[in-house]
Structure 1
Amino acid sequence: MNKTWRAVILYVRLIFDLAVDGIFSLFWHRRNKTIPPLDLKKHAVLTESATALAKKIRQKELKSEDLVRAVVERIKEVNPIINAIAVGRYDAAIAEAKEVDALIANGLPDAEFDKKPLLGVPFTTKESQAVEGMPFTLGLLSRRHVLATEDSEAIKRLKDAGGIVVACTNLPELLVWQETRNPLYGQTNNPHHTGRTTGGSSGAEAALTASCATVVSLCSDVGGSTRMPAFYCGMFGHHPTPGTTDCRGVLFRNGEEKDSMLALGFISKHVEDLGPLTKIIAGDKAPLLKLDREINFKDIKFYYMEKSKDLSVSTIRADLRGAMKRVITRISQQTMSTETAPQPYYHKAFNHMYSIWKHWMTKEPEDLATLCTNNKGSANGIVELLKKMVGLSRHCLFTVVRLLEHQYLPKVDAEWAEKITKELKEDLFSKLGDNGVLLMPSGPQPAPYHYSCFLRPYNFSYWAIVNTLKCPATQVPLGVNAQGLPLGIQVVAAPYNDALCLKVAEYLSKEFGGAVVACKYK
């Protein structure tokens, strides 16, 4: 396709996107409900990092019970508006916190605290993580009575580190969409504007974090599910190098899966929490991530990609282009050298981001048609669509659409997809090495209105292409636009260079103000 026709298509696409926003705003713009302010006299601890709170509990400056009660009280304040909680275990969490306080009061040796770096710190998790005795529905009506019989490996490791589960949170049905909605728990709303999406599939975790209603948010990411909600809600989100976090107990995984794009991660208001939390769930594989590596910021090589030429995704909006330019300018001023100034980067694989990810999803162990029936058969997209049209389907429309795509649209040429992925990896990682990062757009626009993703189904591709690279990436907030919606970028590094992503995120946090909470303080 020549440049003229490409430019015409992009221009038409931009007009279409602006029209979509205008039409959906007529319904959703005035349906915004304000999140209650955070009372600093009662709940100031909820503004602090998990690592700082763990230290205060250890030094007897803060009781775990008080912290857990603060989280529970805040959840009850904001959840009627954002609808982020699937099921809470508030009384059990408070009881466990009391036990922690009693242990500390009786005296614990430093060695025990070292084994439990999260002792007394509460956390929440997406309902797709198995928590013993808690609902494990994955948003399916057919699983509405299913309870988890044991903890997932990540939950076990967080508990062993002293963490206390407060609640399981909402998710898209079977985790397959850019909105957090399902037939069991309903729709989660973005706390910055409740007429807009939180993203998926960890949207409820991001909404709670942005509302100062959780301290630690455990997430997972196979196509942007940690980074997308972090972006839409103005938080930090880290996607570790895949293969380093044990995924046993996520969906139906047994932890033996090889070469998966899926990795567990966290969303947080504080970039300082991401490394220590990742270490906990990485376990004996944590050293592979080199999170304790000393890094001189001035030694980091920077590359950047301002936009993709993939015609299946929307044009990058002006506010996000401006945010990227501000980052490049600030880093250029910091490096003070033309040799180390950020350099543009592009590869032809970015012209086909969604198609590449779509192919690699066929290598993942989950089969959507089987999952839809709770592993008791195979759903048919056309049948489900007909049932949906007469109100008999038990699934969300986006699940039906995904089924139709999987079963009836053309498959991606496997040889081509694997060849171009290999070429992208070799080219990009040879440039990045062990001291380089790529700055990428997070998505084409800030948080869209509810349901508008149906008309722009592939806009998550900026996150998804990173999954196909099986490398680390950190979502970094960069303030807000004129409408008060969070802006941001992704920081990508070569595999096992997670520390580079977090170092750059730390720098950008200081330069651009860090996380953007969705509530006022009083």
Structure 2
Amino acid sequence: MKIARIFRAILRLILTLFGLILNPLTGFIFHLVYDKNARKVPPIQNEILLQSATRLAQRIRQREVKAVTVMEAFIDRVKTVNPIVNAVVANRFDEAIKEARAVDSLLDGGDLSEEYSENKAPWLGVPLSVKEAFALSGMPNSSGLLVRQGTLATSDASVVVSLKKAGVIPFIVTNTSELCMWYESANHLYGRTKNPYDTARIVGGSSGGEGCIIAAGGAVIGIGSDIGGSIRMPAFFCGIFGHRTSKGVVPNDGQFPSPTANDMDLLSTGPMCRYAEDLKPMLQIMAGNNARMLKLDQKVDLGSLKYYTMEDDGGSLLASNVDPQLKEAQIKAVIYIEQNFNLTVKKVKLHRFKYSLEMWSALMYSSGGTSFCEYMGNMEGVVNPFPELLKWLVGRSKHTLPAIGLGIGEKFDALLASTNEKFLKCLEELKTELKELLGEDGILLYPSHPLLAPYHNEPMLHPFNFSYTGLFNALGLPVTQCPLGLSSEGLPMGMQIICSMFNDHLSLALARELEHGLGGWTNPGHIA
């Protein structure tokens, strides 16, 4: 235990010095390397692409627009933007067109069975994007692991089944980080995904391809999964909405890798979309019979809720300081809430938040699930990360550096056993504190990430910044990432909206209100 404490203290000192001395220099280097060829996606001109999935579903059913016309519009957009951003790694365009035509034939016939009624299939004909980690029959399912190249899903994940029954048509699958455990979506199988607002920047991970293609207008809704912020970070970096559902509500099966043992408690499957009005109906479908647990049909009086705000993690030396522009954006949201509902948003300082990384790590590494090195070996053996690091240094490894680093870190878990116990206790105390603070009618506003979208590879200099999202995986609480406009550099800003367990309806309602009042998603093609 003493060795672990000394190691942690030394690490904190090194990172602090690095931040004060080297970060400005490395930032300048990244600027020189990546900004020279930076681009943004072209403006969206087709009005079909600028409508919510809810609205498109209404228009298709009312025969104002054909399903095949909608599908063709999104396919054309993917073909336009994907050569720029590399978000889509496989498609089923031909099958999707056939399925859209079948929808049109059904609706034109007018005599629909109960299966295709508005009640059973509310989103009939709406295009759907799917994270490649989810099984979609006949499509790749590798999560960027090179040895799984050519592996095709033979069935659909549960959430895919539910959404198909609701009428959506899957047409693309999107990129992830290797094995979905890093916050930049890049791997040796599919390459690197680039931000539609600035291709020199990351899209986040692991659901980075989803966040990117939705923000770029190539999709309107998508499926993401989140074990440490893998929905919310891409949604933040790409300026869209993403929701981490209350623990245990939406089925997590049908993913690779699929967490085992207590790792599953950290994982949440949820919706990603451009428009806040799509969050609730999508979540209702994805949750199936469990949707009643979330009170999604309950009317929310936003003016009667309690609001709290916290602008940083309280002083962790392992995470970066929050960018001043992100603090200003959150303050702007606070002012809007206060003025719109004639109430006071209370500023809080929850001191245990500065141990966010430690609490998430303690829960992750004490879960007893499958090791990351086993996943690296495709469950057919255990990869030794130390030789892989040597191979990486000479360009011969099949794995990315973040994956190798995670594998190496895993080998030192035993040294932190007693320290993990301490932080698991800290986590339980924080759960109690938040339950008392939020109750059934409270909302906490908190940064989604401390930095604006970094340059490619830059996350390796700030590996612990995911702690801003990872904390809530450890807590199991529902969280909605809400976009808050663009920075002076033209990069998306946002914040997290947190509420107590099974009160997802509160954060979703506030996200929709803030979209109305502060603008929501911004078309990246229209940035000056």
Deviation at 1:253, TM superposition (A): 3.5
SS at match of 1:467: helix
Aligned to 1:295: 300
- Over residues 398-429 of structure 1, what are the superposed CA-to-partner deviations in whole Å (9 max), with x where a residue is unaligned? 11111111113643523212211111111111
Aligned to 1:54: 57
Deviation at 1:21, TM superposition (A): 1.9
Is 1:400 equivalent to 2:404 in the alignment?
yes
SS at match of 1:394: coil
Aligned to 1:342: 345
Letter in 2 for 1:238: H
Residue 34 and residue 414 in structure 1: after superposition, are their counterparts in 2 closer, same or farther (change >3 A)? closer
- The number of residue pairs the alignment matches comes to 511
Deviation at 1:12, TM superposition (A): 7.1
Deviation at 1:70, TM superposition (A): 0.7
Deviation at 1:310, TM superposition (A): 1.1
Contact in 1 for aligned 2:377/2:383 (Cα 8 Å): yes
Deviation at 1:30, TM superposition (A): 2.0
Alignment of 1:220-235 (within 5 A): 220-235=225-240
Aligned to 1:27: 33
Alignment of 1:17-416 (within 5 A): 17-39=23-45, 43-109=46-112, 111=114, 112-253=117-258, 260-308=265-313, 309-337=315-343, 341-362=344-365, 363=367, 365-408=369-412, 410-411=415-416, 413-416=419-422
Measure, in 2, the Cα distance between the counterparts of 1:143 and 1:465.
31
Aligned to 1:460: 466
Aligned to 1:444: 450
Measure, in 2, the Cα distance between the counterparts of 1:76 and 1:85.
10
Residue 123 and residue 257 in structure 1: after superposition, are their counterparts in 2 closer, same or farther (change >3 A)? farther
SS at match of 2:445: strand
Specify every segment of 5 or more residues in structure 2 that has no aligned partner in the other structure, as ranges: 6-11
Contact in 2 for aligned 1:368/1:403 (Cα 8 Å): yes
Which deviates more, 510-519 or 211-220? 510-519
- Over residues 271-319 of structure 1, what are the superposed CA-to-partner deviations in whole Å (9 max), with x where a residue is unaligned? 0000000111100000001111111111010011111111100011111
Contact in 1 for aligned 2:179/2:257 (Cα 8 Å): no
Which deviates more, 269-278 or 110-119? 110-119
Letter in 2 for 1:377: G
Contact in 2 for aligned 1:50/1:215 (Cα 8 Å): yes
Measure, in 2, the Cα distance between the counterparts of 1:131 and 1:121.
16
Deviation at 1:34, TM superposition (A): 2.7
- Over residues 210-236 of structure 1, what are the superposed CA-to-partner deviations in whole Å (9 max), with x where a residue is unaligned? 111102111111110111011111111
Deviation at 1:89, TM superposition (A): 0.6
Measure, in 2, the Cα distance between the counterparts of 1:7 and 1:386.
27
Residue 513 and residue 37 in structure 1: after superposition, are their counterparts in 2 closer, same or farther (change >3 A)? same
Contact in 1 for aligned 2:106/2:112 (Cα 8 Å): no
Which deviates more, 361-370 or 81-90? 361-370
Alignment of 1:480-519 (within 5 A): 480-519=486-525
Deviation at 1:332, TM superposition (A): 2.2
SS at match of 1:30: helix
Contact in 1 for aligned 2:330/2:495 (Cα 8 Å): yes
Deviation at 1:431, TM superposition (A): 1.2
Measure, in 1, the Cα distance between the counterparts of 2:141 and 2:32.
37
Aligned to 1:430: 436
Measure, in 1, the Cα distance between the counterparts of 2:25 and 2:483.
27
Measure, in 1, the Cα distance between the counterparts of 2:431 and 2:261.
24
Residue 390 and residue 23 in structure 1: after superposition, are their counterparts in 2 closer, same or farther (change >3 A)? closer
SS at match of 1:146: coil
Measure, in 1, the Cα distance between the counterparts of 2:166 and 2:139.
20
Residue 95 and residue 414 in structure 1: after superposition, are their counterparts in 2 closer, same or farther (change >3 A)? same
Deviation at 1:366, TM superposition (A): 3.9
Which deviates more, 318-327 or 430-439? 318-327
Letter in 2 for 1:327: A
Residue 92 and residue 8 in structure 1: after superposition, are their counterparts in 2 closer, same or farther (change >3 A)? closer
TM-score if structure 2 supplies the norm length? 0.93
Residue 329 and residue 254 in structure 1: after superposition, are their counterparts in 2 closer, same or farther (change >3 A)? closer
SS at match of 1:35: coil
Measure, in 2, the Cα distance between the counterparts of 1:249 and 1:502.
26
SS at match of 2:526: coil
Measure, in 2, the Cα distance between the counterparts of 1:484 and 1:497.
33
Deviation at 1:509, TM superposition (A): 1.1
Contact in 2 for aligned 1:17/1:314 (Cα 8 Å): no
Deviation at 1:15, TM superposition (A): 5.4
Letter in 1 for 2:395: G
Measure, in 2, the Cα distance between the counterparts of 1:82 and 1:446.
18
Measure, in 2, the Cα distance between the counterparts of 1:47 and 1:287.
31
Which deviates more, 19-28 or 273-282? 19-28
Letter in 1 for 2:119: D
Measure, in 1, the Cα distance between the counterparts of 2:450 and 2:462.
10
Aligned to 2:8: none
Contact in 2 for aligned 1:306/1:441 (Cα 8 Å): yes
Contact in 1 for aligned 2:483/2:521 (Cα 8 Å): yes
- Over residues 431-451 of structure 1, what are the superposed CA-to-partner deviations in whole Å (9 max), with x where a residue is unaligned? 111110100011111100000
Measure, in 2, the Cα distance between the counterparts of 1:349 and 1:465.
10
- Over residues 59-111 of structure 1, what are the superposed CA-to-partner deviations in whole Å (9 max), with x where a residue is unaligned? 11111111111111100000000001111110010011111111111114484
Deviation at 1:9, TM superposition (A): 8.6
Deviation at 1:393, TM superposition (A): 1.1
SS at match of 1:411: helix
SS at match of 2:497: strand
Measure, in 1, the Cα distance between the counterparts of 2:40 and 2:492.
16
Contact in 1 for aligned 2:221/2:274 (Cα 8 Å): no
Letter in 2 for 1:391: G
Contact in 1 for aligned 2:210/2:223 (Cα 8 Å): yes
Which deviates more, 58-67 or 25-34? 25-34
TM-score if structure 1 supplies the norm length? 0.94
- Over residues 316-349 of structure 1, what are the superposed CA-to-partner deviations in whole Å (9 max), with x where a residue is unaligned? 1111111122222222223434xxx111222232
Contact in 2 for aligned 1:301/1:437 (Cα 8 Å): yes
Letter in 2 for 1:36: P
Measure, in 2, the Cα distance between the counterparts of 1:425 and 1:108.
52
Letter in 1 for 2:358: S
Residue 17 and residue 439 in structure 1: after superposition, are their counterparts in 2 closer, same or farther (change >3 A)? farther
Measure, in 2, the Cα distance between the counterparts of 1:463 and 1:518.
24
SS at match of 1:482: coil
Q: RMSD of aligned C-alpha atoms?
A: 2.1
Measure, in 1, the Cα distance between the counterparts of 2:379 and 2:387.
17
Measure, in 2, the Cα distance between the counterparts of 1:484 and 1:47.
20
